[in-house]
């Protein structure tokens, strides 16, 4: 979703999943078409990632609440008040990774092997600087992987 979601782009992505070609160009008309397409499916999981504030899913065309019991919504947010305002049924708070978990994720994402090389010792220091935050670990590790590929290639 991001901080400033582009509704048309989101609608296009959802429509692609259903193979839907919009018959109308208005945001509301597109939302109605998506809504009807999603209601034809018995069970559906919609993942709304990185929600910054309360958001009416009907604007996109996602059936929500009593409108359609077969639609389950999983949303991720950094702000608990978003969950409260959206009447989430269940909240699961995720903490930071332990030092060992962070290293395993970093090592895997960076494509590092073994535990004894000098590179791994430096990589562990870099991983520690990510403070157990999974997104930071993945981004930095992938950058390290690309850097090592550039140096080797």
Domain parsing of the chain, residue ranges: 7-85, 99-152
Average pLDDT (113-126) is 76
Task: Indicate the pTM of the whole model.
Answer: 0.65
- What pLDDT does 148 receive? 55
Closest to 61 measured CA to CA, from 78, 48, 80, 50: 48
Confidence label for 116 from pLDDT (cuts 50, 70 and 90): low
**149, pLDDT greater than 80:** no
- What pLDDT does 34 receive? 93
- Check: CB of residue 144 under 8 Å from CB of residue 150: no
- Check: CB of residue 66 under 8 Å from CB of residue 77: no
Can you list the alpha helix ranges (DSSP code H) found in 19-133? Answer: 27-39, 80-85, 99-110, 118-129
* Cα 48 to chain centroid, rounded: 7
């Amino acid at each position: 979703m991001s901080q400033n979601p582009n509704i048309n782009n989101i609608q296009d992505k959802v429509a692609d999943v259903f193979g839907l070609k919009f018959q109308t160009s208005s945001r509301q008309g597109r939302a109605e078409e998506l809504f009807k397409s999603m209601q034809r499916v018995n069970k559906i999981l919609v993942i709304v990632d990185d929600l910054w504030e309360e958001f009416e899913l009907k604007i996109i065309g996602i059936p929500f609440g009593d409108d359609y019991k077969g639609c389950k919504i999983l949303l991720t947010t950094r702000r608990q008040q978003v969950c409260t305002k959206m009447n989430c049924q269940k909240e699961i708070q995720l903490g930071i990774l332990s030092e060992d978990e962070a290293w395993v994720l970093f090592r895997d994402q960076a494509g590092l092997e073994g535990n004894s090389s000098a590179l791994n010792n430096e990589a562990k220091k870099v991983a520690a600087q990510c403070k157990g935050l999974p997104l930071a670990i993945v981004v930095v590790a992938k950058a390290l992987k690309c850097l090592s590929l550039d140096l080797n290639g």
